[in-house]
Amino acid sequence: MFAPFRRQTPRRALWVALAGTSLLALPATAYAADAPAEAEAEQAQPSGGHDIVITARRREENIQNVPIAVSVVSAATLDAQGTYNISRLTQLTPTLQFYSQNPRNTFVNIRGIGAPFGLTNDGFEQGVGVYIDDVYYNRIASATLDFVDVERIETLRGPQGTLYGKNTTAGAINITTRAPSFDFEGKAEVTLGNLNFKQGKASVSGPLSDTLAARISVTTTDRRGTLYNTTTSSYIQSQDSVGVRGSLLWKPSEDLRVTLSGDWALQDPNCCAFAYGSYGPTQRAANRQYPALVSYFPGYTVPSTNPYDRVTDADAALAARNEIGGLSARAVWDVSDSNTITSISAWRFWDWSPANDRDYTGLPIYTKVNNPTKQNQYSQEFRFNHEGNGFDFVAGLFGFYQEIRTSGIQQTGTAASKWLLAPTSALSNNPAVLNNVVAINDIRLDNTSLAAYAKVNWELTDRFTVSPGIRVNYDKKKGLYDSVVTGTASDGTRQIVSPVPGSPYYNDAWIAAQRGVQASQFFEPSFSAWNLSYDVNLRYQATRDINFYATYARSFKTGGINLNGVPADNNGAPIQAAATIKPEKVNHFEVGIKTQFWDRRATFNLTGFWTDIRDFQANVSNGQFGTVRGYLANAEKVRTRGIETDFSIRPTERFNAYVSGAYTDAKYVSFCDAPPPPELSGGNTLPATGACTYSGTVSAPGTPGGNSPPFVDASGQVLPGVSKWAFSWGGEANVPGKLFGEDGQFYLGYDASFRSDWSSNPTPSIYTNVNGYLIHNFRTGFRTGRFDVFAWVRNAFDRNYIDLLLAGTGGNTGLIAAQTGDPRTWGGTVKFSF
């Protein structure tokens, strides 16, 4: 009973500290009448009218001179638009897609590729790398924390690997936090809004001696949930996070800088569940589809069939505790004027403690589907940078080790027999048959990656630069999957639910019924391979403000192993051929132009790209092995191509505007054994006759009791999770004025983002296509060089939209579960700096 008190104590203490810091800042702002407001105003604007310096290529460069597709968002823009995590970053970066059922089940894609959609598996790599201060975060779940004292975020699009520690095929998100300062400085920020939204941030930095400086930053976010649970009479999908980051900068000389950093963050919301989305008929027998199944439970009704009522009746315990932290040491030694050695050492941990209701109903079908996970990762990177006359290069070594341990449980309840067994079976009327069928899962991964890479920039002429790069990579994965399923036999004893013919109680009617739901399985997959990747960038500077560039990259995503179970053969043994996943092989082409004009008050950039991927790692069904079970395997070929554009303008200091857009055409080129969509699943499964062939005729979609294919040919269909069209735009106007005796600016800002419809299922389905939507945000306030006070409203016109659609409870009952986007939110923010 003391858990809520313990959980709130750090937060209350943090809020007291934030309030105290804000009060301490007040006297400083009271005497700031002569402080110029232009510096803060300049920082707060989107790109345009001034140079933006980035470090995407491991050295400081003007973004307009970098021959790759990259976007950058400053800390001021993040704060002004309320972007405090990667999820909200998608409204500023059209080609970035982020979808999350909870921190563990999170997918981040760029240009439609990055992670297999719809299935969680620790045995594969991310296609989008996330770096914070040069430290690689291997799992997206460990990077869902709120931003703490961020200086800028760079999103690189396209394969990365000849400049970055870990090879990635889709791109990288490079986050840079503020470094310790030898000048005393600080800031504090408090935000209040509807839905009981409370957010506080504070940061203080300054010298401890002539050679040592420190910075400490804290953040906390708390918000009432947006989904009401009628079972518990409480709101869920809340936000509840706290984070602390500290760093020490030791600078014994101008040539050596050593930064020690540590961070800790905790997310502990009341989360996560889905609302009823819709019903779509499948091929399952009519008496086993959602309307009939619900009728077997007199008195049960779904609380609402409109997902925008934002109600659910989840009856299982819910939790989404996500604890993240680590330590790093970054040393930069300028050996000479032209040579620099950098070392980055890091340890990180991730502790995930979930509780889920995975039947998406208020019935006790699955009472537990929880997979708590603990991860430790260690990385070491060495880089050598050389700047010569007409050329420069970077060479590096990267080592990474990751250990993941998952101890999971799945448990059925008293409604499982009626819901999961055919009503023609006498056992379906006996709740005891499937009640308390328990799977205890022991899942382990040891992941090692070693690499050497190099990149050269060679100026052939004053205008033409060639930049080749190369990477040699070795990866080794060793895993274990041990699921022990126990159930109650017809004689009342607890027994192992074994898939092996002839095993004890194999022919027991109750055990046989339980085996149809889940059976024990054990296997130890492993994978190791060397890979070579390379790229070349060409840059031609036509004029001072016009740059053309072209890129070819031959990249890869390392192979993986299945750690969520694999199909079994006729003897119940796991099929070892399905335990490993082949590496992705990527051919990437890109051309672009970067321009500035009107005395650099306007910027226009245009990029075209084409990416082919062979052996694309995807969620598939086991057609070639004669049974149907979702797991990860390789689709033969995928292609994504498109055009991206960015335009910004700042004609005067009083006005700026921007628009970014992307057209993305991402498709399966060849994918013959894709999982059947809901409307073709659940019927009489036709027999597979080969790797991608089967015999018989498939019934029309949504025919109850019809024939279902063991797999479908998805060739030519769209990839999941990507909109064909995406745009973001906005602007800000300001006028000089005076408030509280301070000279500054009154301002009005507007931002919007649009995404067209997209598929929310691994194979496109008529039931899980998410409609496009347009979101408008407004803000208005007054700022000086010392403080900023403003009011804001997001999703100003209260647009109803869907974040995610899922086929629920086995995928073929016809139930579609929905995760709705945020309704209109509004509030106010006060920021002080000193």
Mean pLDDT across 256-285: 95
CB 566 within 8 A of CB 519: no
Residue 406 C-alpha from the chain's centroid: 20
> Torsion over CA of 44, 833, 149 and 385, rounded to 10 degrees?
70
Residue 269 to residues 16, 237, 372, Cα–Cα distance (Å) = 21, 7, 16
Give the chain's radius of gyration (CA, Å).
Answer: 28
* Residue 797 CB-density burial (10 A; 0-12 exposed, 13-18 middle, 19+ buried): exposed
Sequential DSSP letters for 707-720: EE-SSB--TTPBPT
| H or E stretch covering 41 | helix 38-44
**CA atoms within a 13 Å half-sphere pointing along the CA-CB vector of 655:** 3
Phi then psi for residue 624, to 5 deg, are -70, -15
Q: Which amino acid is at 255?
A: D
pLDDT of amino acid 256: 97
Dig out the tokens for 792 from the structure: 């804001």
Phi then psi for residue 286, to 5 deg, are -60, -35
Task: Give the Cβ contact number of residue 39 at 10 Å.
Answer: 11
Strands, DSSP E only, in 413-525? 438-459, 464-488, 494-496, 521-523
Band of pLDDT at residue 101, cut at 50, 70 and 90: confident
What is the rounded distance in angstroms from the CA atom of residue 515 to the CA atom of residue 511?
Answer: 6
Contacts of 173 (CB under 8 A, 6+ apart): 86, 89, 96, 108, 128, 129, 130, 131, 153, 154, 155, 156
In the three-class reduction of DSSP (H, G, I as helix; E, B as strand; rest coil), residue 759 is classed as: strand
Contacts of 518 (CB under 8 A, 6+ apart): 410, 437, 439, 483, 485, 497
pLDDT of amino acid 627: 39
What is the rounded distance in angstroms from the CA atom of residue 113 to the CA atom of residue 372?
Answer: 27
What is the rounded distance in angstroms from the CA atom of residue 440 to the CA atom of residue 443?
Answer: 10
- Residue 283's nearest CA partner among 680, 686, 709, 765 is 680
Angle at 266 between CA 262 and CA 271, to 5 degrees: 160
pLDDT in tens, 501-542: 999 999 999 999 999 888 999 999 999 999 999 999 999 999
Dig out the tokens for 593 from the structure: 């132009």
Task: Give the Cβ contact number of residue 726 at 10 Å.
Answer: 26
What is the rounded distance in angstroms from the CA atom of residue 82 to the CA atom of residue 92?
Answer: 11
CB 712 within 8 A of CB 676: yes
pLDDT in tens, 744-801: 999 999 999 999 999 998 899 999 999 999 999 999 999 998 999 999 999 999 999 9
What is the rounded distance in angstroms from the CA atom of residue 8 to the CA atom of residue 220?
Answer: 11
Angle at 565 between CA 561 and CA 568, to 5 degrees: 110
End-to-end C-alpha distance for the chain, whole angstroms: 42
What is the rounded distance in angstroms from the CA atom of residue 111 to the CA atom of residue 96?
Answer: 7
What is the rounded distance in angstroms from the CA atom of residue 774 to the CA atom of residue 86?
Answer: 19
Three-state secondary structure along 544-555?
A: CCEEEEEEEEEE
What is the rounded distance in angstroms from the CA atom of residue 105 to the CA atom of residue 121?
Answer: 9
pLDDT of amino acid 16: 37
pLDDT of amino acid 470: 97
Angle at 240 between CA 236 and CA 242, to 5 degrees: 170
Domains defined for the chain, CATH in brackets: 3-833 (2.40.170.20)
Angle at 556 between CA 95 and CA 553, to 5 degrees: 70
Q: What percent of the chain has pLDDT over 70?
A: 90
- Residue 295's nearest CA partner among 425, 423, 426 is 423
Mean pLDDT across 798-820: 90
CB 169 within 8 A of CB 129: no
CB 96 within 8 A of CB 108: yes
pLDDT in tens, 382-416: 999 999 999 999 999 999 999 999 999 999 999 99
pLDDT at 197 over 60: yes
pLDDT at 10 over 90: no
CB 75 within 8 A of CB 150: yes
pLDDT of amino acid 25: 34
pLDDT at 177 over 80: yes
* Low-confidence winner among 127-141, 167-181, 584-598 (lowest mean pLDDT): 127-141
Sequential DSSP letters for 123-134: TS--SEEEEETT
Dig out the tokens for 385 from the structure: 């940078």
What is the rounded distance in angstroms from the CA atom of residue 660 to the CA atom of residue 402?
Answer: 37
Dig out the tokens for 297 from the structure: 């439970």
CB 615 within 8 A of CB 583: yes
Residue 790 to residues 186, 551, 783, 832, Cα–Cα distance (Å) = 20, 43, 8, 12
pLDDT at 20 over 50: no
In the three-class reduction of DSSP (H, G, I as helix; E, B as strand; rest coil), residue 452 is classed as: strand
- Residue 411's nearest CA partner among 319, 506, 317 is 317
Q: Which amino acid is at 89?
A: L
- Residue 355's nearest CA partner among 104, 168, 81 is 104
What is the rounded distance in angstroms from the CA atom of residue 343 to the CA atom of residue 258?
Answer: 9
> Pairing between strand 373-387 and 366-370?
unpaired
- Residue 150's nearest CA partner among 201, 197, 196, 184 is 201
CB 755 within 8 A of CB 729: no
pTM score, whole prediction? 0.89
pLDDT of amino acid 464: 97
pLDDT of amino acid 185: 96
Q: What percent of the chain has pLDDT over 90?
A: 72
Mean pLDDT across 156-184: 90
| H or E stretch covering 39 | helix 38-44
* Residue 476 CB-density burial (10 A; 0-12 exposed, 13-18 middle, 19+ buried): middle
Strands, DSSP E only, in 237-334? 239-253, 256-267, 275-279, 311-312, 319-334
Tokens 């347009």 found at: 774
Dig out the tokens for 504 from the structure: 């004890």
pLDDT in tens, 123-142: 888 888 889 999 998 877 66
Tokens 């039947």 found at: 359
